[in-house]
Amino acid sequence: MVNTQVSLCGIRLKNPVMAASGTFGFGQEFARLYDINCLGSFSFKGTTLHKRDGNPTPRIAETPCGMLNAVGLQNPGVEKVIEEELPGIAKIFNAPVMANVSGFSVSDYVWVCELLDQCEQVGWLEVNVSCPNVHGGGMSFGTQASSAAEVTREVKKVCKKPVIIKLSPNVTDIVEIAKACEGAGADGLSLINTLLGMRLNLKTRKPLLPFVTGGLSGPAVFPVALRMVYQVYKAVKIPVIGMGGVSSAEDVIEMMLAGATAVQVGSANLVNPYACRDIVKDLPRAMAEYNITSLEQIIGGAH
């Protein structure tokens, strides 16, 4: 018998597989397809202080081995999330979920985190300082160590629950930013968010996306994500959640060997809505193949 359980910031998960924010909504659509209680948890749709309609369409562009997205944090705003979405989550998922939070100022982050911190279903606050698809928010905080640390420090003042900072790969040195967040009190780190990219329409000779650039995700980014998880794990003492191109049980094991305590599955959900379920079901087989009896024991094993 293999043991797939892990502990993330003191909260026990039946397995390390989590659906990544922005690819799983608030869980409702996927709960119609399968019992999402098979997951360790999921990070729900990025939530801002006020309602956002998102960027103009088209918002998605295909690329070899991946996709670009420029959705722009479309969400109903934190009050609606608390009033309508969280009660819905409680009906379909019986474990703590991760609240993904975005903002356009430090005070935005603080206010949204303080409200969500009080919600029973929320186990962790995943503070997104790394979204590349909005003007003036998200990534602007995640590309400088001092800004990321400031958001971390202020959010920690109002939160009792673990605060996980989601880092951007669009930086020169992700280790510097990771260490700054740890120093400011972060309880964990999520990495990576999408890589900045673009495509051109050859007929119009203009960018395919009205936003011009988008976030690259999918299997193409997996080696980059793995490298960054490996580097950050080596530099900090707080837990790391790995993500970026994960699409198989073997990818989960590879991420954990690099240093991830839990692993999020993102764009694979958009290709195959059963991706998370299938990965969870396949984990015992992959563990047996590589002589792994406990996933918790392999965290950072590549070091």
Across 275-299, average pLDDT: 98
- Tell me how crowded residue 185 is: count the other CB atoms within 10 A of its CB: 17
In this predicted model, what pLDDT tens digit does every residue of 97-122 receive, in sequence order? 999 999 999 999 999 999 999 999 99
- pLDDT above 60 for 285: yes
Question: 96 and 27 in contact (C-beta within 8 Å)?
Answer: no
Q: Single out the catalytic residue among 38, 113, 131, 159.
A: 131
Size of the chain in residues: 303
Across 199-215, average pLDDT: 95
Percent of the chain topping pLDDT 70: 97
Identify the pLDDT of residue 121: 96
- pLDDT above 80 for 177: yes
Q: For the whole model, what pTM was predicted?
A: 0.96
How far is it, in rounded angstroms, from Cα 127 to Cα 247?
Answer: 24
Identify the pLDDT of residue 131: 67
Identify the pLDDT of residue 139: 57
How far is it, in rounded angstroms, from Cα 191 to Cα 236?
Answer: 13
What is the pLDDT confidence band of residue 37, given thresholds at 50, 70 and 90? very high
Identify the pLDDT of residue 35: 98
Q: Residue 258: which of 224, 282, 289 has the closest Cα?
A: 224
- pLDDT above 60 for 133: no
Query: Residue 217: how many CA atoms within 13 Å on its side-chain side?
Result: 30
In this predicted model, what pLDDT tens digit does every residue of 238-255 receive, in sequence order? 999 999 999 999 999 999
Peptide bond into 58 cis (omega under 30): yes
Known catalytic membership, residue 38:
no
Q: Residue 295: which of 47, 76, 60, 2 has the closest Cα?
A: 2
Identify the pLDDT of residue 3: 98
Identify the pLDDT of residue 143: 84
Average pLDDT over the chain reads: 95
Contacts of 42 by beta carbon, 8 Å cutoff, 6+ apart: 18, 19, 20, 24, 27, 36, 93, 97, 98, 276
Identify the pLDDT of residue 142: 81
Region at 158 (left for phi over 0; alpha for psi -120 to 50; beta for the rest):
alpha
Buried b (16+ CB within 10 A) or exposed e, 146-172: ebbbbbbbbbbebbebbbbbbbbbbbe
Question: 279 and 265 in contact (C-beta within 8 Å)?
Answer: yes
**205: its two tokens:** 């000779």
In this predicted model, what pLDDT tens digit does every residue of 75-86 receive, in sequence order? 999 999 999 999
Structural domains in the chain plus CATH codes: 6-298 (3.20.20.70)
Identify the pLDDT of residue 259: 98
Beta-bridge partner residues of 75: 52
Contacts of 196 by beta carbon, 8 Å cutoff, 6+ apart: 132, 170, 213, 214, 215, 216
**151: its two tokens:** 């958001």
Across 184-190, average pLDDT: 98
Across 47-66, average pLDDT: 94
Question: 164 and 241 in contact (C-beta within 8 Å)?
Answer: yes
